[in-house]
Chains A and B, each alone.
Chain A
Amino acid sequence: MSITTTKPVSLHQLEGELNAAGVTVTALGMLQDTIFSYDAQGEVVDLPAAAQAVVDAHVAMRDKTDAEYAAEFQDSATTPARKQQIRDQQNGLEPREQVPITQAEWDEQQKSVDA
């Protein structure tokens, strides 16, 4: 089944969500708005129909950016403990926090010189 979407997609995140939901995929690919998988030869194949619900429920996340951390760090309301946590995350001592990819961010990423 050909699955398309215009909402933000984090492909590797979606791959984990599909496998967790029992829709086994070894890898995912995306060409513009179409999401697909691969066969054993690396050829493009459609996703099974069961993948549609997982895609619909998908909320694409990304790492928090340095600019976002900096804004929070500069906020007077940020506690010293939180600032330390921000330092640790920015220095790789802890995983970075995840934030949703906004539709505006996604649309910007999807722009193409071919359009």
Chain B
Amino acid sequence: MTRQNAVNFSGALQFPYANAPTDLFKKEDVQILAQATDGHDHSSGKGLMIPGTAIQPETISHIQIQNGSIWTEDLADNIITSAKLADGAVTRYAQIANNVILTQHIADGQVTSAKIQDGGVGSVDIASQACHYQNYVGLTAPQSTTSSTFVQIPTSQISAYVLPSLGVGPQATWVNWTLSLTFSATASASIAWNMDGGGFNSAWYYTGAAGTTITASGWMITSGAVGSHTYAMGWAISAGTLSLSGVTYNTFGVWTPIR
């Protein structure tokens, strides 16, 4: 006699059964088997667990999965796509690691003023031409004049200087200069500028003693119509010869703030 007990059922549901022709057949073989079949739910002691291969693919729906039971390790890497996230579902900045947002993640034109901290934009964040237009020329030196009326200083011309449009009418512009002037006689030197070859506008005058050299710096605010212009410097001397010394750089510039 080789009767044995079921190995996949236990407790009250562990049914005995005969496994040899000579074994006795007992009523319990059917009675407990019937109970085991009735209580067969594949849990521990109630039959074999169901292997994954025994489940037909694409048959388990969300209702068979307990709420809150899917763990991170149940998801394969890189498997959650954008379509699986509801719009507006990522609600906490803590869910974004520091320093991972790149420039290309921000759509063009999307950063508004309100998103920039007051005083937060440093000068290095502004392009060199973003706040003003400027153009300078270095004046060739030495050079001289004896003219008592304004004449153009050769090499002082700034061409194709474009006054930008701000939509607020004529654009304020600064003309400015730094000159090293030498006087052959005690005299008064006058500095002027013109635009587009027009008459010279007297801007400043400097006095100097005979044989002396002075640094003449100055500026003057003017304005002009939006568009391209040419600027140049003029000079005149009341007596003797006025020279531009080559011992230092001599410059003439036009500067336009645009905001």
Chain A interface size range? 20 to 34
Binary CB contact string for chain B from 112 to 141 against chain A (1 if under 8 A, 0 otherwise):
000000000000000000000000001011
Chain B interface size range? 20 to 34
* A63 to B145 Cα, complex, angstroms: 18
**A15 lies within 8 A of B146 (CB):** yes
**B145 lies within 8 A of A29 (CB):** yes
* A30 to B153 Cα, complex, angstroms: 10
Chain B residues whose C-beta falls within 8 Å of the C-beta of A32 in the assembled complex: 140, 142-143
Contact of B247 among A27, A29, A43, A111 (CB under 8 A): A111
**A31 lies within 8 A of B154 (CB):** yes
**A28 lies within 8 A of B152 (CB):** no
Contact of B147 among A31, A42, A110 (CB under 8 A): A42
Q: Does B246 contact A (CB under 8 A)?
A: yes
* A6 to B24 Cα, complex, angstroms: 139
* A10 to B146 Cα, complex, angstroms: 10
**B146 lies within 8 A of A11 (CB):** yes
Query: How far, in Å, is B153 (CB) from chain A's closest CB?
Result: 9
**B142 lies within 8 A of A44 (CB):** no
Contact of B145 among A11, A62, A109, A110 (CB under 8 A): A11
Contact of A42 among B146, B149, B243, B247 (CB under 8 A): B149
Q: Does B211 contact A (CB under 8 A)?
A: yes
Query: How far, in Å, is B195 (CB) from chain A's closest CB?
Result: 14
Q: Does A73 contact B (CB under 8 A)?
A: no
**A112 lies within 8 A of B145 (CB):** no
**B184 lies within 8 A of A10 (CB):** yes
Interface residues of B in 226-255 (CB under 8 A from A): 234, 239-241, 243, 245-249
**B141 lies within 8 A of A114 (CB):** yes
Q: Does A65 contact B (CB under 8 A)?
A: yes
**A27 lies within 8 A of B151 (CB):** yes
* A73 to B144 Cα, complex, angstroms: 33
Query: How far, in Å, is B77 (CB) from chain A's closest CB?
Result: 66
* A101 to B31 Cα, complex, angstroms: 139
Q: Does A82 contact B (CB under 8 A)?
A: no
Q: Does B155 contact A (CB under 8 A)?
A: yes
Q: Does B18 contact A (CB under 8 A)?
A: no
Query: How far, in Å, is B211 (CB) from chain A's closest CB?
Result: 6
Q: Decide: A29 near B154, CB < 8 A? Known: A11-B241, A112-B246.
A: yes
Q: Does B220 contact A (CB under 8 A)?
A: no
Query: How far, in Å, is A81 (CB) from chain B's closest CB?
Result: 25
Q: Does B200 contact A (CB under 8 A)?
A: yes
Q: A27-B148, A113-B249 are in contact. List 9 more A-B contacts (CB 8 A).
A: A10-B241, A11-B146, A11-B243, A12-B185, A29-B146, A30-B145, A42-B234, A112-B246, A113-B141
